[in-house]
Structure 1
């Protein structure tokens, strides 16, 4: 669904922590420090581990021989003990809550869409994030979610799940079938934020194609994915990309293949069911589906990201990141 569900986070946390897998190809990487919800992943050029954002406003780096280490934080408060556990979720407006993250591979800058606190950037050395924007045209962001960096230009694309409801009201947004989500872009050269799409029904994730010609945007509530053309003869136009993925969340491109992985669930009134990873081609056709109920139960998946022959799988409230060998 959207990048985190405050209202049911404790329920889902307890459910996900009770899930075990006997699949030898699957590994759990538990999040330390009473934090939870490794939602999104970014990989640097070294290929040594990954970055992920967790509850309470921290960005962690996972290094295979060390485990998780603190890398950055959204606010000064993010490192405090009262941003741990349930308090960190409850006080996300103070602590921060990173949702979508992505690296600019050329500069090493890590961009973060923090759901309640806006668009941020973190330098290659880590530390305190710098806020880039918390509004556009005088209108505050209510609920940021997905984010990606164009691999050809460095332009940042990010989504707002809703322009009417905040993260605490996500169940209301879903129940009312809210369609006020938006797609934005941030140009580091001009430092300007531009609105590109509106009227999206739960804009949860976005991903730029490997050639930089278009960006795809998921609509969680509507079970749809749209495509916005960045360049070429269709530049500036919008079209449906795929309606074959149930309740899509984050979308991630698969290197230079032209394909995408999508985190998917079947949304129910009480809780999501049937978590799975769905691979789409550049035309929105399903190439592969991996069912993940044995590994995640009915946890709400947030992202499936392929890197070096493994899938890195994130959740909204779960206590671990999942790694599956392909």
Structure 2
């Protein structure tokens, strides 16, 4: 079922969404920022986050806070990289982890790094293994270099990894220019770790950001940030290997995360006012939707992030953990 959010409905989203009760903020070690995505291991440990200096951090409790767990660039130099700010030229060397997701069968952490490609971290953390950085040469009509990977999810049953390339024409350091462009060079990919087979599922996407596979593995959702929409790509069934519009939005959708009930949380950011200024006020929020495209909850994250954009809403054991490219903390909220 395809649902379009009407202008009236979007006004409701901007003016009177439900509000999560902010419980606490988990501070990152200064001066790093940008917990863009959140993940938990198969034992419930975490949250794990990727940050601006190329490291993966794991929350070790209120006494120890976030501790280094892994890193994504094979050439990372701690002296140069530790504490690096976002959008630096050095991130091409230090790494910039974005989408994170564990394979709960193996407890390996998969990472979509904006510069280093698709990365796998072993169950004990540490140095990265690069799954691949370039698409297989036999794939036709596709850029061979996979720069600016963004969203990522892992099928809990098959272990297949789904990930997005935000753009083939822009790099992460040029994200501001990309957001102001009409670029449609993004793609959706899958990787089967058992066979090492990579597939190109969708092309021509307008800043492909978030991705999430359905609970039964029959389809995968992908958000197009610049097109204000979410598309569904069918993996199985009579419509296999075809795509369709899943949700048309007024705000810009980022990461998508599923919960234990098979629903999806989408981080969505909207601008205030009919004639917004060049850098409009951002209303960070989230949508909880069913696998049939029914909107179940509209959530404001203004208390969590103010006027900064939210990148992810992640539900874990009935609690919401939110991500942002600008924040120096991970907010924890209760659902109401």
What TM-score, normalized to structure 2?
0.86
- Cα 1:252–1:143 shift into 2, 3 Å: same
Residues 120-129 or 38-47, more deviating: 38-47
Of residues 137, 158, 178, the one that matches 1:173 is 178
Aligned residue number for residue 150 of structure 2: 145
| 3-state SS in 2 of match to 1:136 | coil
Q: Deviations over 1:137-158 (max 9, x none)?
A: 4410121100000111000000
Is the contact made by 1:162 and 1:178 (CA closer than 8 Å) also made in structure 2? yes
Does residue 261 in structure 1 map to residue 265 in structure 2?
yes
Other-structure match for 1:39: 36
Offset, 1:75? 2.4
Give unpaired runs (5+ residues) of structure 1. 1-22
Which residue, 272, 276, 282 being the options, matches 1:273?
A: 282
Runs of at least 4 residues off by over 3 Å: 76-79, 84-89
Aligned residues: 303
Task: Report deviation, 1:76.
Answer: 5.0
Following the alignment from structure 1 to structure 2, what is the Cα–Cα distance between the partners of residues 76 and 166?
A: 19
Residues 220 and 87 (structure 1), Cα distance of their counterparts in 2 relative to 1, 3 Å cut: closer
Provide the rounded CA distance (Å) in 2 between the counterparts of 1:287 and 1:245: 17
The residue aligned with 1:117 is: 116
Greater Rg, structure 1 or structure 2? 2
Decide which of 306, 313, 316 is 1:304's aligned counterpart: 313
Following superposition, the deviation at residue 287 of structure 1 comes to 0.9
- Shift of the alpha carbon at 1:172? 2.3
**Alignment match of 1:49 (pick from 19, 24, 46):** 46
Q: Structure 1 residue 80 and structure 2 residue 78: aligned?
A: yes
Residue 285 of structure 1, CA deviation: 2.2
- Work out the CA distance in 2 between the residues paired with 1:140 and 1:272: 35
| 1:325 equivalent in alignment to 2:330 | no
Distance in 1 separating the partners of 2:76 and 2:327: 19
Cα distance in structure 2, aligned partners of 1:272 and 1:93: 30
Aligned match of 1:225: 230
Q: Secondary structure at the match of 1:283?
A: coil
Q: Choose which of 59, 63, 77 in structure 1 pairs with 2:60.
A: 63
Partner of 1:291: 300
